[in-house]
Each structure stands twice: as C-alpha cells, then as structure tokens.
Amino acid sequence: MTATVQHRLAVISEPNRFRIVELLKDGPRSVGGIVDQLGLGQPQVSRHLRLLAEAGVVEVTKQAQQRIYRLHPDAMHVISDWVQGFAALWAERMDRLGALLDDDRAPEQNP
C-alpha cells in the first residue's frame, strides 16, 4: 500500500496539490471547478487528483458526466493521529527525554 503517513505528506505537500486540498476543505468540487481555480490544464489536474486518490486523500463520486472530488475523512484523520504522537513535545517540554544524553547542563538560552 502507498498509504503511509510519509507518503500522504509527500503527496499533499506538492504546491498545486496542497492548493487542491485547501480547495476541497471548503467542500466537494468538480474537476472543471478545480481547473478554473488552479489555472492548470485539465489533464494536469486529473493527474494530481489521481495521485491524491491513490494516497487516499480524496475520493470520487460520479455525478452525470462530472466527477466530484472530496476529501477523504480518514486520510486527514490518520495524519492527525500521527501528529498527535508528537503532542508530548509541547505538553511536557521534552525535559524528561532530554535527559537521555546528559543531565548536568546549563538551562535554556532564550534570546
């Protein structure tokens, strides 16, 4: 599977795909609608959408001749879970873990 967190981040972080994700944050969009917003060619947008879909970031719904793309809830949820794994960083200031390498160090230096 290509659905690791690392892969999803890589796919999302591409500038134009990031814009697509931000667009879809406000709700589903058709390919044509996305093309208008981005100013890219339709084939390029379709390719970006395919990569996003393969990474599980978006999902498609057919509606007449249009394909409606929307964000896949689970995708962002997985990323959220991953980020939460770092919550200890800003919750406990990592002082305990810092003791891993030494323990008699001058305190912090704040400019």
Partner DNA sequence: TGCATACATATACATCATCGCATATATTGA
Partner DNA sequence: TCAATATATGCGATGATGTATATGTATGCA
- Cβ nearer to DNA, comparing 87 with 103: 103
The pairing of strands 66-71 and 58-63 is antiparallel
C-alpha 37/C-alpha 60 separation (Å) is 18
- 23 by DSSP, 3-state: which? helix
Neighbours of 107 (CB within 10 A): 5
Instruction: Find the helix packing angle between 5-13 and 42-54, rounded to 10°.
Output: 160
Site for DNA in 10-39 (CB under 7 A): 14-17, 30-32, 35
Q: Which does 41 bind (CB under 5 to 8 A by kind): a second copy, DNA, none?
A: DNA
To the nearest whole angstrom, how small is the minimum distance from the Cβ of residue 34 to a second copy? Answer: 13
Which two structure tokens, joined as six digits, stand for 69? 């793309």
Residue 97 partner contact from a second copy, DNA, none using kind-dependent CB cut-offs of 5 to 8 Å: a second copy
Does position 41 bind DNA by CB under 7 A? yes
Token readout for 51 is 């990569």
Q: Which residues bind a second copy (CB under 8 A)?
A: 6-7, 9-10, 12-15, 18, 25-30, 63, 68, 70-71, 73-74, 76-77, 79-80, 83-87, 89-90, 93-94, 97-98, 100-102, 105
